[in-house]
Amino acid sequence: MPGNNSRVRDSVLGRLLQELSWVGANIRDFHDGGLGFENVLTAEALTALDFLPRTDFLGAVLQAAHGAVAARSKAVAEIEQAEVTLFPDQLVLRPNAPTNQTLVVQPDGSVISPGSYVMLEAKRIRTSAFQPEQLAREYVALMREARGRSPLLLLILGSEPPVPVRGHGSMGIAEAISRHLHSVLDRTEDHDLDESSLKERVPEVLAWITWQELGSVVTKQRGIFCSDNPSVNATVSRLADSLTDSIARHSLPTRRVVTSDEHLGSGLGSSR
């Protein structure tokens, strides 16, 4: 990723443009507004989700996800004080290795509070495969960075698991993590993580929700949210509608899409 200028870090749009700067000549694929590209969908939908009342919307989305009940509950309990970041700084698992072997993880988002660390990974709505080691790298990075907080890896998927993994076909999420966990952990620096313990903890850390389910939760919450201030109600309705409209728009058939995984994953040691 290009230099982490603080003014860029504070802007979701700046972060998105920073990611797109890696696309090069393929930028013409975005002429239709980036339909089908997961980074564009993430920026549109999750920015709206961040701006909506936290407990009623982001908290409800976490509650509606599948798996990792205790970790989700902890995140929900602290959601009002959490810092939400889309396209956060990359995490480097092997900083002392040559540039093309550093094992870089680039989460799509994070939700961090005093007692909870949520890493977000969003896939596009139409079929999009994970890189072989991607889930294992994200899991190890999360467990290393949590530092005493309750870790949660939340996947936002186009469809229910199993998930497509490049070179392996469809796999269960836990299986995709475990298959490459030893290799990733063996190359990761600056940690005291134990492989057997990590394998046992996957079910309590891993959760998922589909984009369709996320949209349904937001629609439901929009219908029951009520403030004494009509202007607040109207603002919430506009934000909720922008989120669900984005999901619907990115669900439409498009021409062949080259995913951001393909653009950003080659030669950079990326988790993608």
Q: Which domain holds residue 209?
A: 24-261
Residue 128 lies in a domain: yes
Beta pairing partners, 207: 154
Q: Output the pTM of the full model.
A: 0.85
Residue 269 lies in a domain: no
Residue 17 lies in a domain: no
Length of the chain: 272
Q: What is the mean pLDDT of residues 160-177?
A: 97
Q: pLDDT, tens digit, for every residue of 35-87?
A: 667 788 999 999 999 999 999 999 999 999 999 999 999 999 999 999 999 99
Residue 75 lies in a domain: yes
Sorting pLDDT into bands at 50, 70 and 90, what band is 259?
Answer: very low
Q: pLDDT, tens digit, for every residue of 178-226?
A: 999 999 999 999 899 999 999 999 999 999 999 999 999 999 999 999 9
Q: pLDDT, tens digit, for every residue of 104-152?
A: 999 999 999 999 999 999 999 987 899 999 999 999 999 999 999 999 9
Number of domains present in the structure of the chain: 1
Residue 272 lies in a domain: no
Residue 14 lies in a domain: no
Please name which of 83, 205, 76 lies closest in space to residue 144, comparing C-alpha atoms: 205
Share of the chain above pLDDT 90, in %: 72
Helix extents (H) in 165-229 = 173-187, 195-205, 211-224
d(CA 255, CA 209): 26
What pLDDT, on a 0 to 100 scale, did the predictor assign at position 144? 97
State whether the Cα torsion 6-7-10-15 is positive or negative.
negative
Residue 11 lies in a domain: no
Residue 271 lies in a domain: no
Sorting pLDDT into bands at 50, 70 and 90, what band is 264?
Answer: very low
